[in-house]
Amino acid sequence: MQNRKFKRQIARLERAGNDDFLLILTGGAGAFATHELHLLLRRIRVRTQQVSQLRKTMFKVSLCIPLLMLAACVAALVSLRGLMAIFVLAIPVCLIILLYQQVRAGRKFSCYDRAKRLRAIIQQELARRRRGMTY
């Protein structure tokens, strides 16, 4: 029992140790080389664009739900039961897609909700290095 808890704790610490952004948030950017900080800034910029694109896609999928409801109502009024059933069944599919994308975004982009703070920490460290100041 204790051995399994110990292994899980070690695995969690290893994951945290391999996450550069989490290391910056907890310990600061001073331990990273300048070129690594520039690479991390670039990664933040790319990931922020990916998150933005994912949010736009999720918005479009969520916009389909009321449109599918409207289309189902119109199909019911015109007495097209088969088409109405397709529209009604597409609504839960859209909800499942939204739920999946939300979970995926939460796991894949976990530190990017704090991108502004990360960017500020890294830029402050780079500015400090440009001025030549050390602690």
List pLDDT tens digits, range 76-114.
999 999 999 999 999 999 999 999 998 888 877 776 678
Tokens of 45: 């910029």
Q: Domain of 112?
A: 2-130
Report yes or no on 26 lying in a domain: yes
Cα R_g (the chain), whole angstroms: 23
Q: State whether the Cα torsion 50-51-54-59 is positive or negative.
A: negative
Number of domains within the chain? 1
Residue 135 has pLDDT above 60, yes or no: no
Report yes or no on 135 lying in a domain: no
- Report d(CA 104, CA 107) in Å as an integer: 5
Report yes or no on 124 lying in a domain: yes
Q: What pLDDT score does 7 carry? A: 83
Report yes or no on 25 lying in a domain: yes
Report yes or no on 62 lying in a domain: yes
